[in-house]
């Protein structure tokens, strides 16, 4: 029996009444409506003094203690054939496979426009961006002025061969602006080290309790000549921290270079997007596009099937399953790391 026929039989046995859509030889069932019981099964909040905390077990696997450890909170973006954000889609319009299997149950699906944000602004301060640096600072400051709502928090981080936190999490735009102005262009670039460290120390330590989403906006040319960690290690840490990466390239040349490809891979793996301005003034447009996207997303909370708390990487395959929206593109993380069971 061929693998394709086998996939059809298995998925048909799980959800026989859903339509199937074959994409890249994967048979993905449309998401069923969340049942009334499932919608009411909200995580039981921990008692006072027992708030969930993220811990480092010493092996770079972060365990989230508390309710909801078996639930996956997935944020994703949908664009139409013109590249415009597609809003108003229903849960049944999508098909999902988690680690190759349909989810055990869907808890909640909704369009998110005002979910509080935790944003990291990472600005490359290496000598290679010196000529564009002042404009990048102004564009970054304008971005924070526009995007931050009262419940949002952001921090400012510069990086060359080292990281430089000039402003920790705050909602005060004046302090964030001061942090941006403190940055000064310097020497070489350790992009992978900086991204790894920032996701580990600033993002993975935040408790993910379905009340906010995490994103890093990175302004860089994508070059790296000093890092000790590799690109794939930096990406894995972003995925462990459940953080979406948006990249704005500072390479304004007529064609993309190796650094641009690096930024694209990082963004793709985390469900974000990379922007490639053709001139310096277009950098501000990149920030504006990110602002719109962060307020034009969908949220899906589901319970994966055959879930094991073993620290393994579980793939996510999400696609449009409604033929009426053929040609629409879904941008979501490629997967996540399951927490490890407490010993």
Residue 26 has pLDDT above 70, yes or no: no
Q: What percentage of the chain exceeds 70 in pLDDT?
A: 79
Give the whole-angstrom CA distance, residue 264 versus residue 268.
6
* Distant-in-sequence, close-in-space partners of 6: CB < 8 Å, separation ≥ 6: none
SS3 string, the chain, reads: CCHHHHHHHHHHHHCCCCCEEEECCEEEEECCCCCHHHHHCCCCCCCCCCCCCEEECCCCCEEECCCCCCCEEEEEEEECCCCCECCCCCHHHEEEEECCECCCEEEEEEEECCCCEEEEEEEECCHHHHHHHHHHHHHHHHHHHHHCCCCCEEEEEEECCCEEEEEEEECCHHHHHHHHHHCCCCCCCCHHHHHHHHHHHHHCCCCCCCCCEEEEEEEECCCCCCCCCCHHHHHHHHHHCCCEEEEEECCCCCCCCHHHHHHHHHHHHHCCCEECCCCHHHHHHHHHHHHHHHCCEEEEEEECCCCCCECCEEEEEEEECCHHHCCCEEECCCEEECCECCC
What is the pLDDT averaged over residues 121-128? Answer: 90
C-alpha atoms less than 13 angstroms from C-alpha of 124 in its C-beta half-sphere:
28
- 116 and 211 Cβ atoms separated by less than 8 Å: yes
What is the pLDDT averaged over residues 43-59? Answer: 35
Q: Look at the chain and count its residues.
A: 343
The pLDDT value recorded for residue 9 is 23
pLDDT tens digits along 64-75: 333 346 899 999
The pLDDT value recorded for residue 115 is 84
Torsion of the alpha carbons at 333, 335, 341 and 343, rounded to the nearest 10: -100
The pLDDT value recorded for residue 278 is 86
Domains of the chain as residue ranges with CATH: 3-42+53-113+297-337 (no CATH), 117-294 (3.40.50.410)
Q: What percentage of the chain exceeds 90 in pLDDT?
A: 64
- Token pair of 131 as six digits: 């000529």
Match 């029996």 to its residue by tokens: 1
Residue 188 has pLDDT above 80, yes or no: yes
pLDDT tens digits along 190-231: 999 999 999 999 999 997 555 788 999 999 999 999 999 999
pLDDT band, very low/low/confident/very high, at 341 (cuts 50, 70, 90): confident
pLDDT tens digits along 154-177: 999 999 999 999 999 999 999 999
Match 């906006």 to its residue by tokens: 217
Phi and psi torsions of 222, nearest 5°: 85, -5
Q: What's the angle, vertex CA 125, arms to CA 244 and CA 233, rounded to 5?
A: 40
- 298 and 75 Cβ atoms separated by less than 8 Å: yes
């Amino acid at each position: 029996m061929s693998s394709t026929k086998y996939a059809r039989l298995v998925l048909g046995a799980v959800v026989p009444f859903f339509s199937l859509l074959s994409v890249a030889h994967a048979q993905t069932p449309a998401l069923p409506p969340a049942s009334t019981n499932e919608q009411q099964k909200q995580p039981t909040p921990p008692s006072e003094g027992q708030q969930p905390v993220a811990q480092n077990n010493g092996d770079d696997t972060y365990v989230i203690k508390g309710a909801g450890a078996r639930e996956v909170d997935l944020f994703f973006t949908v664009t139409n054939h013109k590249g415009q954000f597609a809003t108003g889609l229903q849960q049944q319009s999508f098909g999902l496979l988690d680690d190759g299997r349909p989810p055990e149950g869907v808890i909640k699906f909704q369009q998110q426009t005002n979910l509080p944000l935790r944003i990291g602004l990472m600005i490359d301060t290496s000598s290679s961006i010196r000529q564009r640096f002042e404009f990048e600072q102004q564009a970054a400051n304008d971005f924070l002025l526009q995007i931050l709502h009262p419940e949002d928090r952001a921090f400012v981080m510069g990086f060359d061969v080292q990281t430089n936190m000039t402003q920790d999490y705050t909602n005060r735009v004046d302090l964030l602006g001061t942090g941006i102005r403190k940055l000064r262009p310097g020497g070489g670039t350790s992009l992978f080290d900086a991204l790894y460290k920032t996701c580990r120390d600033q993002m993975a330590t935040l408790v993910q309790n379905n009340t906010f989403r995490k994103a890093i906006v990175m302004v860089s040319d994508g070059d790296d000549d000093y890092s000790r960690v590799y690109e794939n290690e930096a990406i894995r840490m972003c995925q462990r921290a459940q953080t979406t990466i948006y990249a704005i390239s500072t390479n304004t040349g007529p064609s993309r270079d190796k650094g641009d490809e690096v930024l694209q891979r990082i963004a793709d793996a985390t469900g974000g997007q990379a922007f490639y301005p053709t001139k310096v003034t277009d950098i501000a447009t990149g920030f504006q596009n990110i602002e719109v996207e962060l307020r034009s997303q969908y949220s899906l909370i589901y319970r994966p099937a055959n879930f094991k708390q073993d620290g393994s990487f579980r793939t996510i395959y999400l696609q449009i399953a409604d033929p009426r929206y053929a040609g629409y593109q879904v941008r979501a993380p490629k997967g996540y790391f399951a927490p490890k069971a407490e010993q």
